[in-house]
Amino acid sequence: MTAAPGRIAAIVLAAGASSRTAPAHKLLAPDATGLPMIARTLRAVMASRADPVVVVLGHRAAEIRQAAMLGLEPGRLPHFIIAPDHAHGLSRTLAAGVGAVMDDPTITGALICLGDMPLVGTELLDRMMATFHAHPGCPGVLATHEGRRGNPVLWSRSLFAALTAGHGDSGARHLLARHATAMPRVAAGAEITADFDTPERLAEFSRLFGAEQLTSARASAKREGSACGAPHANQPTRTHNMSKIIRTEPNAILSKVVEYHGFLFTQGFVARDLSADITAQTKDVLAQIDAALELHGTDNTRLLQTQIWLKDINDRDALNAVWGPWLPKGGAPARACVEAKMAHPDVLVEIMVIATK
């Protein structure tokens, strides 16, 4: 009996500062239909067979995340994460994305996609994944055009640890130098080398996909029963995703954050280093909460309620010594703080919050 080929994750890198197109951020730039570049890229990835899809954010994370959501179907959404050290180069963004999937043993490969390559289509992504499954044991799969390598690149699980160890802006170039000759090739078009890293190229992107705009307008007109595509006077206008439930990093039993109508409900956060004392664990938990709120476009000035569990209620003073300075002046939320039996004996504190945007 042949074993199942395993799942392939897609990791979309979208953490850069886009300094070469400043003051414009290329991932937020609209095409001829008004769709931001990151949304155009993500639309193709989400339509592929990749599972899960992880979007790695960093610079202007809340804006990029909001733009990325445009045009996505509500039934399937990507996982958004923030690379905490994204400012230290592309390698750290890549490491964060791979790190988000490497603990799942059912994931056998990772398709690394760049957020600023919106011309790469679903068909190419699926062919790369099929090629990977057809070559068990290969270190990955390359896309090539006229003998030239481009992006995306698919990497085998066997190299996940190496992918998380890089530094600077080199990405995975050192691994390509070592393994490229053993990686099967998939023929692609010029889109695998087409990025939009200059103001001139960004201007070109703004003129793309115009035919889709016309098709969409006609479809809209047909749906609304109006020759011009505008809603009738008695029809409400629809705001994007206002009632959509957005789940960040969901798994079989929980989501890290659930967003609904501008309200955020978080999981209980515990420290990542359980050997630390109550002060260090509290600082780490609050840093994780800051990152989760930032990802959803808000911060701790918008807290409504919090629940705190302590392994030992006698640690409350040490907790408050960190908690108090973390809160904005005059912005303390409603709070409960209780002693509880923890799921792990080394967890000293767990905190969950409710916030608004």
**Residue 4: band (very low, low, confident or very high) from pLDDT cuts 50, 70, 90:** low
- How far apart (Å, rounded) are the C-alpha atoms in residues 201 and 106? 39
Domain ranges of the chain: 7-200, 246-356
Is cis: bond before 23, omega within 30 of 0? Answer: yes
**Residue 43: band (very low, low, confident or very high) from pLDDT cuts 50, 70, 90:** very high
pLDDT, the chain, mean: 86
Q: 89's torsion region: left (phi>0), alpha (psi -120 to 50) or beta?
A: left
pLDDT at 253: 86
- How far apart (Å, rounded) are the C-alpha atoms in residues 316 and 319? 5
**Residue 211: band (very low, low, confident or very high) from pLDDT cuts 50, 70, 90:** low
Q: 168's torsion region: left (phi>0), alpha (psi -120 to 50) or beta?
A: left
- Please list the alpha-helical segments (H only) found in the chain: 37-46, 61-68, 90-99, 122-134, 160-163, 173-179, 199-205, 210-224, 278-295, 316-326
Strands 334-339, 107-114: pairing kind: unpaired
Question: pTM of the prediction?
Answer: 0.68
Strands 140-145, 148-156: pairing kind: antiparallel
Say whether pLDDT at 87 is over 80: yes
Say whether pLDDT at 25 is over 70: yes
Regarding predicted confidence, which is higher, 124 or 230?
124
**Residue 229: band (very low, low, confident or very high) from pLDDT cuts 50, 70, 90:** very low
pLDDT at 231: 34
Say whether pLDDT at 98 is over 60: yes
- How far apart (Å, rounded) are the C-alpha atoms in residues 44 and 115? 11
Residue 50 CB coordination number (10 Å): 26
Q: Fill in the amino acid letter for 10.
A: A
pLDDT at 269: 96
pLDDT at 324: 96
Non-local CB neighbours of 27 within 8 Å, separated by 6+ positions: 14, 18, 36, 37, 38, 64, 67, 115, 116
pLDDT at 130: 96
SS3 86: helix
Phi, psi of 317, rounded to the nearest 5 degrees? -65, -40
Non-local CB neighbours of 253 within 8 Å, separated by 6+ positions: none
Of 37-41, 87-91, 234-238, least confident by mean pLDDT is 234-238
Residue 317 CB coordination number (10 Å): 8
Q: Longest C-alpha distance within the chain, in Å?
A: 70
Regarding predicted confidence, which is higher, 65 or 241?
65
CATH architecture of 7-200: Alpha-Beta Complex (3.90)
Non-local CB neighbours of 23 within 8 Å, separated by 6+ positions: none
| Residue with tokens 């930032």, as numbered in its chain | 294
Could you give the strand order of the β-sheet that contains 79-82, starting from the edge strand earlier in sequence?
A: 79-82, 53-57, 7-14, 107-114, 148-156, 140-145, 185-187
Q: Give the CATH H-level superfamily of domain 246-356.
A: RutC-like (3.30.1330.40)
